Structure 1
Amino acid sequence: MSFTFTTMTLNLVLLMAMVATNILSLYHLSSTLQSPKSPKPPPPVPDQLLHQLHTIRATINHLTRLQNINNPTKKSTIPSDLLLYSHLSPIASSCHNHPELLHKYMTYTPFSLCPSDSDLAESLILRGCHPLPRRRCFSKTPQKQIPPNSLPKNPFPSSLPNNAVIWDHYQCKSFDCLNKQNPNLGFQPSRDISRFNSYKTDLDLPIQQLFQIAAAAKSVLRLGLDVGGGTGSFAAAMRLRNVTVVTTTMNVAAPNSEAVALRGLVPLHMPLQQRLPLFDGVLDLVRCGRAVNRWIPLTVMEFLLLDVDRVLRGGGYLWVDHFFSKGVDLEKVYAPLIGKLGYKKVKWATGNKTDAGGVKNGEVYLTALLQKPVSR
């Protein structure tokens, strides 16, 4: 009974709004009719009338949406999955959820140096808010610029120059400090030169083997993307083989983007939930490294996999490198999720994660090389 009353009320309001629109339009037409002999153009539509028309139209649209929502007998033509993905907020639509952070980020003095607070931008981006760049201030540069001819030409230099980074908002003030904290972060590139060339367990996929697989399938590797690639070691290894790979990375507590660029590579400063800034079907290879793991929300993981499918060409490869999760989740959640892509399993290897956290949580690693169908 309440539903019938609500529907009747909405229909009545819609009818009244439509009548009001017609009356206002008729009034406007009658007031602007001119004699055929008069050469004078009709007067402009009054701003107040335009405002009233826009208000009525917005009300009609809003009420129509409400009627569709409140009418359970009318089936939506939008798949429920797509409605779910709309909550990922890949284009700044979640900024309204963090007004204090956004206000702080956009508070600066125009036509002066931008504040040195890239960590604040990182906080917004990781929350799904991608604010517009500050358009009225000047980006800061390091106090001591290194000469361009002294920039590393080898993607695996023995060290990275500290002068190329603004260290204000980092706890460490040099690459040496970062290396001492954790030598596996990749800030000493020469340590990683053999990282993608060795084979210790079935979880490893040496680059040479990757090229052999591609050659056997009569496939070519020219362009690639490394998702969550840290300091760009995979892109550097592929560059030595004349393959162009760009790296998505974030500067969480460390200057990853600067490190990638100092190696002569291209960093894409973006989080995992953002749509890849690439056109459809243009890549030969996408690698998802250890940044892509079970801590990512499942809906974001699915969004990422489908976006990877979008940018891969037919016959291209998806390399899931050392993905870790609980063993039961890999079997019941992640393996079926990856299987939805319908890719050919070129390699599928699992192994126990033997560190303290892995043993405690019953975690396993997965390394998979999957080939997208040539045609669909």
Structure 2
Amino acid sequence: MGFTMGLNMLLLVAMVATNILSLYHLSSTLQSKTPTSQSVPDQLLRQLHTIRATINHLTRLQHTTTSTSVATSISTTSNPTFPSDLLLYSQLSPVASSCRNHPDLLHKYMSYTPFTLCPLDSDLAEALILRGCHPLPRRRCFSRTPPKPTSSLPQNPFPSSLPDSSVIWNKYTCKSFDCLKRFNPNLGFDPAHEITKFMSYKSELDLPIPQLLQIAKAANSVLRLGLDIGGGTGTFAARMKVYNVTVVTTTMNLAAPYNEAVALRGLVPLHVPLQQRFPMFDGVLDLVRCGHAVNRWIPLAMMEFLFYDVDRVLRGGGYLWLDHFFSKEVDLEKVYAPLIGKLGYKKVKWVTGKKTDTGGLKNGEVYLTALLQKPVSR
């Protein structure tokens, strides 16, 4: 550190000297009346060349010293021989740095009129978010609101219906929640259908909430705060709310207003992608559930970081619930089970079963439902 400060001081002195000599030469030239005096003296040229060469040398030396210091710092905190997977992980971009990799999308997103209403471009924002450009660049425009929002919102997380007037439908094919229910009743927009979820067994792969609460009680573990990753319209959070457990849901508006639906049910949606660091402090959650979004289509390196961020936010004794995680059977045995095992969690439940839909049969896929408990202390 002291050597770097010394180099900075030498650079400052050299630049000041250059400016003084240049000023001296300029003033002497202006004051001279003879034509020959306008040429730069050889001695002054040599001095200027020497100073500039010194500046260039010190700049290169400073860069080399900084690089050496960084390398020394790394070598003192890790093994000198880096494993191949660590070199791969080092190429993963930190939060928001990938914005520069999509200049066309970013330029389009940032083309707006300041101090007016923001464009109707939430689909463009989501395209950037899914590419790792998150949090998005800030804009000085006002967010839009629905033209005629409802004056009353449901208190019940399982209302008879969700108010259409509280959503801006412009970018969606469907223009109402009834349309979404008719299109696919399993999307989560039918409260009458959702109220039956998480409450009973259909197979060994299910973990009903009453059983989850019983397991926690038997282990003298209290469930108060939770995170539902990829929770769709927030049905798990809605059901846990009935049991006085606060759960926030990460979700994306992929072709439907999932975030709005979560909020209309009186719950908290987190509009974050899977590669985003969870906006929670270390060791504060009792439960993290990984829903349908966490599956084999996530790049392996990204999935490992996701699991370690789950470990970061879970308190000692907290639970990680992998709900119907699916992958190829051979990959579950050779890749994902060892990856999950690295966490060192206690296996409270570990059940696998065949994925019997068309894609599952074609690709030889299986489901995994696992309830894992983080060690109380480390």
> Quick check: TM above 0.5?
yes
Tell me how far apart the structure 2 counterparts of residues 270 and 20 of structure 1 sit (CA, whole Å).
42
In the other structure, the counterpart of 1:95 is: 99
Tell me how far apart the structure 1 counterparts of residues 150 and 293 of structure 2 sit (CA, whole Å).
31
Offset at residue 300 of structure 1 (A): 0.8
In the other structure, the counterpart of 2:250 is: 248
Tell me how far apart the structure 2 counterparts of residues 251 and 294 of structure 1 sit (CA, whole Å).
21
Tell me how far apart the structure 2 counterparts of residues 55 and 286 of structure 1 sit (CA, whole Å).
55
In the other structure, the counterpart of 2:197 is: 195
- Give the alignment partner of residue 272 of structure 2, picking from 263, 270, 282: 270
Report the more deviating stretch, 359-368 or 169-178. 169-178
Structure 1 position 145 matched with structure 2 position 145: no
Tell me how far apart the structure 1 counterparts of residues 280 and 7 of structure 2 sit (CA, whole Å).
48
In the other structure, the counterpart of 1:3 is: none
Q: How does 1:19-98 map to 2 (within 5 A)?
A: 22=10, 24-25=12-13, 28=16, 59-60=60-61, 62-64=63-65, 77=78, 84-98=88-102
In the other structure, the counterpart of 1:37 is: none
- Tell me: CA distance 1:316–1:167, structure 2 relative to 1, closer, same or farther (3 Å): same
In the other structure, the counterpart of 1:362 is: 364
The 8 Å contact of residues 89 and 129 in structure 1, kept in 2 or not, is answered as no
Secondary structure, aligned partner of 1:257: helix
Secondary structure, aligned partner of 1:94: helix
- Tell me: CA distance 1:68–1:59, structure 2 relative to 1, closer, same or farther (3 Å): same
The 8 Å contact of residues 11 and 55 in structure 2, kept in 1 or not, is answered as no
Give CA-to-partner distance per residue, 1:102-127, whole Å, 9 cap, x none: 00001101111100010000000000
Structure 1 position 115 matched with structure 2 position 110: no
Report the more deviating stretch, 168-177 or 359-368. 168-177
Secondary structure, aligned partner of 2:187: coil
Secondary structure, aligned partner of 1:324: strand
Structure 1 position 233 matched with structure 2 position 235: yes
The number of residue pairs the alignment matches comes to: 337
TM-score, scaled relative to structure 2: 0.82
Secondary structure, aligned partner of 2:172: coil
Tell me how far apart the structure 1 counterparts of residues 179 and 282 of structure 2 sit (CA, whole Å).
41
The 8 Å contact of residues 88 and 273 in structure 1, kept in 2 or not, is answered as no
Secondary structure, aligned partner of 2:175: coil
Residue identity in the other structure for 2:324: H
RMSD (CA atoms): 3.0
In the other structure, the counterpart of 2:375 is: 373
Residue identity in the other structure for 2:186: N
Secondary structure, aligned partner of 2:185: coil
Offset at residue 232 of structure 1 (A): 0.1
The 8 Å contact of residues 155 and 236 in structure 1, kept in 2 or not, is answered as yes
- Tell me: CA distance 1:31–1:99, structure 2 relative to 1, closer, same or farther (3 Å): closer
Mark the structure with the bigger radius of gyration: 2
Gaps of 5+ in 1: 1-14, 33-51
Residue identity in the other structure for 1:124: L
Residue identity in the other structure for 1:130: H
Gaps of 5+ in 2: 21-52
Secondary structure, aligned partner of 1:350: strand
Structure 1 position 308 matched with structure 2 position 296: no
Tell me how far apart the structure 2 counterparts of residues 183 and 20 of structure 1 sit (CA, whole Å).
67
In the other structure, the counterpart of 2:160 is: 158
The 8 Å contact of residues 134 and 276 in structure 2, kept in 1 or not, is answered as no
In the other structure, the counterpart of 2:129 is: 125
Offset at residue 25 of structure 1 (A): 2.2
In the other structure, the counterpart of 1:178 is: 180
Give CA-to-partner distance per residue, 1:277-333, whole Å, 9 cap, x none: 000000000000111100000011001000000000000000000000000000000
Secondary structure, aligned partner of 1:184: helix
In the other structure, the counterpart of 1:10 is: none
TM-score, scaled relative to structure 1: 0.82
Structure 1 position 106 matched with structure 2 position 110: yes
Tell me how far apart the structure 2 counterparts of residues 260 and 100 of structure 1 sit (CA, whole Å).
31
In the other structure, the counterpart of 1:206 is: 208
Residue identity in the other structure for 2:147: Q
The 8 Å contact of residues 124 and 131 in structure 1, kept in 2 or not, is answered as no
- Tell me: CA distance 1:271–1:55, structure 2 relative to 1, closer, same or farther (3 Å): farther
Tell me how far apart the structure 2 counterparts of residues 141 and 57 of structure 1 sit (CA, whole Å).
57
The 8 Å contact of residues 248 and 267 in structure 2, kept in 1 or not, is answered as yes
Report the more deviating stretch, 52-61 or 207-216. 52-61
Secondary structure, aligned partner of 1:321: strand
Offset at residue 132 of structure 1 (A): 3.6
Offset at residue 87 of structure 1 (A): 3.7
In the other structure, the counterpart of 2:36 is: none
Residue identity in the other structure for 1:273: Q
- Give the alignment partner of residue 333 of structure 2, picking from 331, 334, 344: 331
